[in-house]
Amino acid sequence: MNIEELRDKILKQDRRALARGITLVESARADHRTQAAELLEALRGEGKQALRVGLSGTPGVGKSTFIESFGMMLTAQGKRVAVLAVDPSSTRSGGSILGDKTRMERLSRDRNAFIRPSPSQSHLGGVARRSREAVALCEAAGFDVVLIETVGVGQSETVVAEMSDLFLLLLAPAGGDELQGVKRGIMEMADIILVNKADGDLKPAAMRTCADYAGALRLLRKRPQDPVGFPKAMTVSAVEENGLDTAWDEMTALTDWRRENGHWERRRAQQAQFWFHEEVKQGLLARLQQGDVQEALAALEGRVAAGEVTPSSAADKVLSILDVSAH
């Protein structure tokens, strides 16, 4: 594949080239990894900055309904919207496929929208780094908004937050009076909590849930990247398409403030550093899986168990053969 040609086509907003580029970054093949790195390097600093929006919520809260309605609203305003997914489930069994086009039928037919399902990968680290690279490709392809959907138990939210400018948490109205078991760590990541399904019979419960979360958010430690009033909770109805414009206005107000106050750039710079460290870790882990290292580990395990060598000197022996730069 000619990387220069692919680069030019992506910059010209060619959707097929974008899809090919994403397939390339998702591939685990060593030659593809090399080409992907070349492509990403060639696109670095090109294109404009998209607004990267992370969106999380448990299955059934209405993520796909929300993305469809919200995405359609944005494309109607002339914006180009990409939807990507970070799926932490290793098997997919039982769970819904995130970013699945059949869950967003209208949006998937929209010329100004691009939907890409989560790559099928067995571990979150691999999925996450590739999704981050897919975000970069969508940005180079001139999308105004990149929505990154996830569902999870904390870990996937963390990696999505690390590739997003804004993080939205979607909730459904609570039946009881607990805070739906949302972990504090996830709440702390949220810039805006959207309580969905604020329609029909569910509306009063949605309002209550929203008030509960607004209260809980006020108790969180103040973050430097938040203007007065943020993080905030609000109600929406993805089905009735209510509150979506207000949600967008709030997102815009928040990002404008962050841009003006240097937080936007700082966050992106910190994220780049985070992914740099992450890539180093992933590279080391991959190296550990290779045959010679596995053999050395296997050979030393028995000797460590038998007390013939101390754990630390055995580890030194293995580390001395890593020479990661050669791989």
**How near is the Cβ of 202 to ligand GDP at its closest, in Å?**
6
- The nearer residue to ligand GDP, 100 or 188, going by C-beta atoms, is 100
CA–CA distance, 190 with 74 (Å, rounded to integer): 21
Query: What is the Cα–Cα distance from 312 to 137, expressed in whole angstroms?
Result: 43
The per-residue b/e assignment along 156-188, b for 16 or more CB within 10 angstroms, e otherwise, is: bbbbbbbbbbbbbbbbbbbeeeebbebeeebbe
In the chain, helix, strand, coil percent, each to 5?
Answer: 55, 10, 35
Least Å from the CB of residue 151 to ligand GDP: 7
Nearer to ligand GDP, 97 or 315 (CB): 97
Q: Between residues 133 and 199, which has the closer beta carbon with respect to ligand GDP?
A: 199
For ligand GDP, give the closer residue by CB, 54 or 57: 57
Q: Which residues bind ligand GDP (CB under 6 A)?
A: 57, 59-65, 96, 196-197, 199-200, 202, 237-239
Rounded to the nearest whole angstrom, what is the least distance from the CB of residue 273 to ligand GDP in the complex? 32
Q: How far is the CB of 200 from ligand GDP (least distance, A)?
A: 6
Least spacing, CB of residue 179 vs ligand GDP, in Å: 18
Q: Strand 113-115 to strand 81-86: parallel, antiparallel, or no bridges (unpaired)?
A: parallel
Query: Three-class SS string for 215-275?
Result: HHHHHCCCCCCCCCCCCEEEECECCCCECHHHHHHHHHHHHHHHHHCCHHHHHHHHHHHHH
